[in-house]
Structure 1
C-alpha cells in the first residue's frame, strides 16, 4: 500500500510541473499578444487623433474663408469641434495654424493674399463702350511674379464687352500706368489700344488686333465680394445698409398705397432728374462716406460733384440698388461706385418670363431733354451718356442686364478710394504639411 501511494505522488508532481510549464509558456505568448493588441489600439487612437486634428485644421480654414478673415483669429476653437484640445496660431509664426488632439499636434501655414488690381471696371452685366472721343483706362497693378511683372487689368467681365468706335474715338489701357512702382518693367501681357469696333464675348474669343489680355473674361466673377469684401447674401446686404450706409430711398408710398418715385413729375409723366444727385451731394457734403440709393437714379441737374482736395484720398462708396442709373451731366465722384440690380424687380409678373416691361417704363420716364432712345435696349440698366468715372472703380452687377458708357473717359482707377477692405484669398501654403 505504501508503494502505491508513493507512485501516485510522483505522477501528480510530474503533471503539476508540466502544467506549470505549459502555463508559463501560455502566459508568455499571451503577453506578446496583449502587447500587440495594445500597440494596435494605440496606433488606431493615434490615427484617430491625427485625423481629428487634420479636421480641426480644415475647420479653421473654412471658418476663416467663410468670414473673409485677414488673419488667424484667436477664437477658432469655439467655432470648431469641441473634441480638439487646441486650435490656434503658432506663437512663432502668426500665419501657422496649429491643431492639437491629446498628444498629437499638426500644423499648416496659411497664405493670405489680397485681390487688388482685379479691374478698374468689373461687369457682371454685358458692357457696351461707345467712344466718341479718347477713352483711357488707367488700371491698378496686381503683381503676379518677381522682377516687376504685373497684371494690368482694365476690365474684368462676366458676359461680354463691345466697343463701338465713333468719329475720332479710341479705347486705350494706359501703359505704363501713371502710378507704376519704380521696379515696373511692363505689363505681364499686351494691353488694349483699340481704334476700331470689336466685341469680346463670354466664350472668351479675342478678335485679332482688338481686345488684349487686360480685358479678362471671368466666369467666377464675384463683383459683390470684390467690392464689399463679404459674400453676396440678403443678410449681408441688409447688414451693410443698416450698419454702414446712409440710405436714400427714392421710393415712397402715396395715400392710395401705390409706390411712387420722389423725382417723378405727375404733370409731365417724367423724372425731373434732380432728387437723386441732390441727395447724394448733400449726404457726402454732410460728412457721410457711404451712401446707398434705392430706386431709379437719374442724374441731370445738378450733376454729382464730390471732389477731394489735391493730394488727398477720401475713401467713399456710392451704391445704387434696384433701379436704373442714367447720367446725363458731367459728374465727378472721388469714390467707388456699385450698381446692384436684382433683375426680377423689373419683370411684370403678369407677362412672360423675363419680361422687362418695368425696366422699359423707367427709361421712358427720363426727362425729354435726355434723349436716350438710341441707347436704350430691352435689358439696359446703366447708361452714362456724359462723363461719370468714379476713381474707386465701376462695379456693374446686373446679371442679364446691359451697361453702356458713351463719350470720352479718363478713368484713373485707385482701389484706395473704396472704403471696404479688399477681399483676401486664403489657402494653405504648398509644402507646409503633406501635399497629395
Structure 2
C-alpha cells in the first residue's frame, strides 16, 4: 500500500495538466480566429477605402472636365481598384469596386448636362444666313488623350446655313473654354467633331446634312432637348417661378412687383420696350446679374451696354432673358454671359409684321425689309414670313456664355457672318442662383456630415 501512495495526486495533477492543455489549445484557436478576423477586417477596410477612392477620383475628373467623367481605372492610379462604372447623364450613378467591396453614389451635373452643351442651343428654327466661324464648346472628353467631342450647335427642329462652316477648335489663353480646362498640352477637337471646309448653298438643307454625316458631330440634332430645364433646373411650365425669383431683375411695362397667382394675371408684353438697351445697362451697373426683359427688345447703340459689361468683375457674368417679344440686334457687342430668347406656351405670343415695322434702327430695317421686298420674306433667299421671325441679328452680338433660343415654331435669323467665342464659366456664373454650381454629390448618397 505504501508503494501506491501519491497515485491519486498524480492522477489529479495529470488531469489538471490535460485541462490546462485543452484550455490553452482553445485559447490559441480563439486567438488565431481573432487574428484572422482582424486581418480580414483590415483587408475589407482597404477594399472599402480603395473603392471610396474610386468615387473621389470620378468626382475630381467630373469637376476637371466640367462634365460626366470618362476616365478609366488606370486614370485613377489606385492599385487596388478593380472597376469604376459611370452611368446616367444629368444625374450620374458612380459604382466603384475593389476586392469584395462595392460602393455606389450619385452626382448631379447642373448646367452641363449632355443636352445643354453647344455654343448655340436652339428650339427655335435656326437660320444662319452667312458664314459660321466659332470657337467650340469642348462638350465631353474623348477616349484619346487631349481630345474632345466638341459642339457648336445643338438644334431641336430646323437648321439652315447659307455659307461656309468653320469650327475654330478649342480656345487658348484668354479664350480658354473654362478656368479648370487642361492647359498642360495642346487640346483639340476630335476630327469627327470639327466641321471645316464645308460651304452650303441655297438648295442644301443643313439638318439633312447633319443627319447623313456630311456635317460633323459638332452639329447635333436633338429633338428631345429641353433648353429651359437644362438652363434653369426646373420644368418649362415653371417659368413664372424663375421670372419672379429673388435673384432676377425684371424689365417690363406694368409688371406686378410680386409674383401673380397665375400667368394670366401678367400684363400683355410690350411690342418693343422703350430704351431697352439702356435699361439693361442700368440694371447691370446696379449689380444685377440675371435680367428678365418681358416684351420686345431692340439693341442698336451698345456703347453704354458694352461699358456696363466691361465693368463686370473678373469671373462675373450676366444672364439676359428676352421673353415674349421680338429681339432685334444691329450692333457689335461682346456680351459676357448668356442670351436666352424665350417664348412661353401660356400667353400665346406670336411675332407680327407690325412689331418688326416698329423697329427704329435704319440699318436693321434695311436688312430686314430690303431682303423681304426682293424675296417675299425675311433674310432673302429662304422667303420666311415676318410673322414667323422672333429674332433677327444683323450685327455681331456675341454672348460668350452662348445662345439659348427657345421660341418653338418661330425663326431665329442671324444675318451675315456669325463669329462667336465660348466660355462656359460665363454660363455657369450667371446661372448659379438656379443650378447652385455645376457638379455636386446628391444629398443622402454620400456622408452628409
Please tell me the TM-score bracket, short chain as reference. 0.5 to 0.7
Contact 1:251 1:295 in 2 (8 A): no
Residue number in structure 1 paired with 2:426: 417
Report deviation, 1:320: 0.7
Report deviation, 1:174: 1.1
SS, match of residue 362 in structure 1: helix
- Provide the rounded CA distance (Å) in 1 between the counterparts of 2:103 and 2:185: 36
Report deviation, 1:108: 4.3
SS, match of residue 332 in structure 1: strand
In the alignment, structure 2 segments of 5+ residues that lack a partner are: 1-67, 69-92, 96-101, 257-266, 373-377, 379-383, 443-449
Residue number in structure 2 paired with 1:22: none
- 1:361 corresponds to 2:332: no
Report deviation, 1:368: 6.5
Q: TM-score, normalised by structure 2?
A: 0.58
Q: TM-score, normalised by structure 1?
A: 0.59
- Provide the rounded CA distance (Å) in 2 between the counterparts of 1:138 and 1:300: 25
SS, match of residue 216 in structure 2: coil
SS, match of residue 313 in structure 1: coil
Contact 2:252 2:269 in 1 (8 A): no
* 1:393-404 equivalent positions in 2, closer than 5 A: 393-404=402-413
Report deviation, 1:312: 2.8
Distance of aligned partners of 1:307 and 1:368 in 2 relative to their CA distance in 1, 3 Å threshold: closer
- Provide the rounded CA distance (Å) in 2 between the counterparts of 1:201 and 1:207: 10
SS, match of residue 416 in structure 2: strand
Q: Kindly tell me the number of residue pairs found equivalent between the two proteins.
A: 297
User: Please, which of 109, 114, 123 is the counterpart of residue 105 of structure 2?
Assistant: 109
SS, match of residue 233 in structure 1: helix
Alpha-carbon RMSD? 3.6
Report deviation, 1:310: 10
Of 368-377 and 145-154, the range deviating more from structure 2 = 368-377
Residue number in structure 2 paired with 1:245: 248
Relative to its length, the structure with more helix (as a share) is 2
SS, match of residue 136 in structure 1: strand
- 1:175 corresponds to 2:169: yes
Report deviation, 1:331: 2.7
Greater C-alpha radius of gyration: 1
Distance of aligned partners of 1:324 and 1:283 in 2 relative to their CA distance in 1, 3 Å threshold: same
Distance of aligned partners of 1:184 and 1:425 in 2 relative to their CA distance in 1, 3 Å threshold: farther
Distance of aligned partners of 1:251 and 1:118 in 2 relative to their CA distance in 1, 3 Å threshold: same
- Provide the rounded CA distance (Å) in 1 between the counterparts of 2:440 and 2:413: 31
1:206-255 superposed Cα distances (whole Å, 9 cap, x missing partner): 473xx211001111111112222333223x532443311110014689xx
Contact 1:143 1:149 in 2 (8 A): no
Contact 1:140 1:177 in 2 (8 A): no
SS, match of residue 220 in structure 1: coil
Distance of aligned partners of 1:331 and 1:345 in 2 relative to their CA distance in 1, 3 Å threshold: farther
Residue number in structure 1 paired with 2:263: none
Report deviation, 1:359: 2.6
Contact 1:226 1:423 in 2 (8 A): no
1:153-209 superposed Cα distances (whole Å, 9 cap, x missing partner): 0011101211112xxxx331112433373355532324222333343337953473x
- 1:214 corresponds to 2:214: no
Distance of aligned partners of 1:425 and 1:276 in 2 relative to their CA distance in 1, 3 Å threshold: same
